[in-house]
Amino acid sequence: MSVPTEKFDSPRLIGDIGRTFARFALEVAPGVFTHIASLRCAEHADFHAAVSSYLASITDLPGGVQQIAHMGIAIANPVEGDQVRMTNYHWQFSIEQMRSRLGLDTLVVVNDFTALAMVLPRLTAADARKIGGGAPRMPSVVGVLGAGSGLGVSGLIPAGDSWVALGTEGGHTSFAPRDDRELAILRYGLQRYDHVSFERVLSGPGLELIRMALAERNGVKASEMSSPEISRRALSGECALCKEALEVFCTILGTAAANLAVTLGAFGGIYIGGRIVPMLGDFFDKSPFRARFEDRGRFHSYVASIPTYVITDEHSTFRGVSTILDSQLRTLQPDPGSAILGQIRRAREQLSPAELRVAEHVLERPRDVLNEPIAEIARAAQVSQPTVIRFCRSLGCEGLSDFKLRLASGLTGTVPVTHTQVQSDDSVVELGAKVLGNTASAILAVRSQLNRDMIDRAIALLQGARRIEFFARSHYSVVAQDAQYKFMRFGMPCAVHVEPRLQQLAAELLGPGDVAIVISASGSLPELMAVAERARERGARLIAITAGQSPLARKADAVLIVDHVEDVATQVPMVSRILHLLMIDILAVGVAMRRSPESLAAASADEDDLNTGAAPDAATRASPGVSVATPLARLTSHSR
């Protein structure tokens, strides 16, 4: 394999995260990896600790690790949205928060087998070993699977001159035994698990399960043994039970590989990766894997024509991650060397002290800056508004709008978060597009800040509430009124207070078991702060829908953060009011999801009675627990 001589402006940090090991490397040029290290996950509290430990071990990098701006990681887990929660391990993190904590411009996180799939077109004869017959027909779909701490499955679909990788969880399809021995393994697994997937048997823990199942079937007394030890004893020939377990493992892998081949129509071939099979060498080549792969009855000829390979390149996942990261950078930053955040870092010494304060604010909170008006940026950086404009022009931008567009194009994300100023000469179509675009961008920004624990806490408080009191002022009164309407339809006692004097009186009547929901964009209005303080003094619980780090947020038992600034001195709040309404929707849907099906059914019947004018019967009137909520689908239909 020839190695390109092109070098990157700065090394890229590449990771491959599994349940047992976290592997890292620095990519200094395309396909050139240095400082390769493998860390035990169990020795690090979380993902951030593992990355920090790896970076701390690098002491010979010219310029230091501070110059690393881009990172890509493959992880043995589905990757959907910002929150990553490992299936087979306890690590979890927010991609955007992790990018910020590590001081990176870009953090790309992908499923490990999606990454492995992307490197398949770049493998040479030296990077993979063919098992059995068949020949690839290109361009065709290619499949890949492999066993390690779990079973990864993916595929690659040709798309013109490029490829599209499938993000799948095919390892969790149901295990399908083919003979009595495999039926015994399934029965053994069902004694321990509700569902026996292919991953339950085709993984490190799966190999251990197969051995214990065979011991029980063969009437052999056996103690538990780790999968590496099973493989070692099988390959050395010192343990007949271990050898049988490994042979069965390879055989079942043939079933899974053939299933993938016929499902995808993978005439480009099936590749085997992961950490187990590439280490088996000749044992796997001589195993029943290929015979089982071709054992498809009427479809024997179909699968026999499909070649199978074992990936032998130990850096294949690194190369796949690198390919995806490079593609992201080329899409988001046509010239990676001129990325706006990197340009700001390099320009620090040439900036005036005031401009430097703007630079530090942008580097610390780049996504927030995208949605901040110039007044807020100036206030946060403690400079004048003309200084913000001078800062933008010092970077070659025409002004703040141009700077924000360049900043958005350089940030990682599926949809750039942008704000476009409405101009007086905009056409009606342009005006509509800008308003909708700004609202959509703000919603995406708030979505990235959602805190699962806080939402769960707020919903739990509402479920146990004796009474719910909503407090809001001015433009946000309609949000409180909308909330009252939704929760009263659940049969939950509610009230809305929007006038300061009545708010004070209502707060005096709160007590234990009550929940006060205070809705405030700034989180600092004196009248609402007084309500919050009195509610806490009276023993009520407090939920705040407000700005993060605000005085109100610090007093609340649960906070739903809406960090969106609008200049209420010059305009009526629009986007922020929509964001607050959506937070109410989240709470309403959450409460509806946790209510019993019986109460939802009763609610539907009550609603039908209301719509037809029929009076509820005596039994219904006498039951204080009857819900009058609409069914969940109807409740949420307005927001779809």
Indicate the residue type of 132: G
Q: Where are the alpha helices (DSSP H) in 489-555?
A: 500-508, 526-537, 551-555
* Separation in Å, CA 568 to CA 129, 306, 522: 66, 65, 11
Pull the structure tokens for residue 529. Answer: 């702060």
Average pLDDT over residues 345-364: 86
CA angle 24-27-29, nearest 5°? 170
Predicted pLDDT of residue 597: 56
Q: Do domains 339-447 and 452-594 have the same CATH topology?
A: no
Pull the structure tokens for residue 497. Answer: 């207070």
Which range, 160-174, 200-214, 377-391, 463-477, is most confident?
A: 200-214
For CA atoms 64, 65, 70, 74, the dihedral sign is positive
pLDDT band per the 50, 70, 90 thresholds, residue 31: confident
Query: Does 573 or 461 have the greater pLDDT score?
Result: 461
- Asked if 566 and 575 count as a contact pair (C-beta separation under 8 A), the reply is yes
Q: Cα(343)–Cα(362) distance, rounded to whole angstroms?
A: 12
Q: Cα(329)–Cα(106) distance, rounded to whole angstroms?
A: 8
What is the DSSP annotation of 577-632? Answer: HHHHHHHHHHHHHHHHHHS-HHHHHHHHHHHHHHHHTPPPPHHHHH-TT---PPPH
Phi, then psi, of 311 in degrees rounded to 5: -75, 125
pLDDT band per the 50, 70, 90 thresholds, residue 161: confident
Query: Is residue 599 scored above 70 in pLDDT?
Result: no
Query: Does 638 or 447 have the greater pLDDT score?
Result: 447
Spatial CB neighbours of 74, under 8 Å, sequence gap ≥ 6: 15, 16, 17, 110, 111, 112, 114, 115, 116, 317, 320, 321
* Separation in Å, CA 236 to CA 212, 233, 282, 283, 436: 19, 5, 12, 10, 66
Phi, then psi, of 169 in degrees rounded to 5: -125, 50
Query: Is residue 336 scored above 70 in pLDDT?
Result: no
Under CATH, to which class is 452-594 assigned? alpha beta
Domain ranges of the chain: 12-122, 128-312, 339-447, 452-594, 597-639
Q: For residue 470, give the H/E element and its range.
A: strand 467-472
What average pLDDT is seen over the chain?
83
Query: Is residue 72 scored above 70 in pLDDT?
Result: yes
Query: Is residue 415 scored above 80 in pLDDT?
Result: no
Helix, strand, coil % over all residues of the chain, rounded to 5:
50, 15, 35
Q: Which of 500, 501, 543 is nearest to 518 (CA)?
A: 543
Average pLDDT over residues 82-92: 84
Query: Is residue 570 scored above 60 in pLDDT?
Result: no
DSSP classification of residue 543: E
Query: Is residue 106 scored above 50 in pLDDT?
Result: yes
Q: Which of 73, 63, 4 is nearest to 39 (CA)?
A: 73
Query: Is residue 77 scored above 90 in pLDDT?
Result: no
Predicted pLDDT of residue 433: 67
Pull the structure tokens for residue 164. Answer: 């599209």
Number of residues that make up the chain: 640
CA angle 548-552-558, nearest 5°? 70
Q: Cα(68)–Cα(539) distance, rounded to whole angstroms?
A: 50
How many angstroms separate the most distant Cα atoms in the chain?
Answer: 85
When mean pLDDT is compared across 248-252, 368-372, 521-525, the lowest value belongs to 368-372
Options 3.40.50.970, 3.30.300.30, 1.10.10.10, 3.40.50.880; which CATH number does 339-447 get? 1.10.10.10
* Separation in Å, CA 469 to CA 262, 445, 513, 522, 559: 59, 28, 11, 20, 16
Q: For residue 199, give the H/E element and its range.
A: helix 198-201
Query: Does 606 or 551 have the greater pLDDT score?
Result: 551
Predicted pLDDT of residue 78: 79
Q: Where are the alpha helices (DSSP H) in 372-463?
A: 374-381, 385-394, 400-410, 428-447, 452-463
3-class SS at 494? strand
Was domain 128-312 assigned CATH 3.40.367.20?
A: yes
Query: Is residue 454 scored above 80 in pLDDT?
Result: yes
Q: For residue 326, give the H/E element and its range.
A: helix 316-332
Options 3.40.50.300, 3.30.420.40, 2.60.40.10, 3.90.1170.50; which CATH number does 12-122 get? 3.30.420.40
* Residue ranges with strand state E in 112-235: 128-131, 142-147, 151-159, 162-167
Query: Is residue 640 scored above 50 in pLDDT?
Result: no
Quote the pTM value: 0.53
pLDDT band per the 50, 70, 90 thresholds, residue 345: confident
When mean pLDDT is compared across 158-162, 261-265, 361-365, 417-421, the lowest value belongs to 417-421
Predicted pLDDT of residue 428: 67
Q: Cα(323)–Cα(333) distance, rounded to whole angstroms?
A: 15
Structure-token match 């407000």, residue found: 546
When mean pLDDT is compared across 2-16, 37-51, 484-498, the lowest value belongs to 2-16
Which range, 186-195, 453-462, 615-624, is most confident?
A: 186-195
Spatial CB neighbours of 453, under 8 Å, sequence gap ≥ 6: none
Rg, the chain, Cα only: 30
DSSP classification of residue 197: B
For CA atoms 280, 281, 282, 288, the dihedral sign is positive
CA 37, 40, 44, 48: dihedral to nearest 10 degrees? 40
**Digit-coded pLDDT (tens) for 261-290:** 999 999 999 999 988 999 999 999 999 999
Spatial CB neighbours of 116, under 8 Å, sequence gap ≥ 6: 74, 144, 146, 152, 154, 271, 273, 311, 316, 317, 320
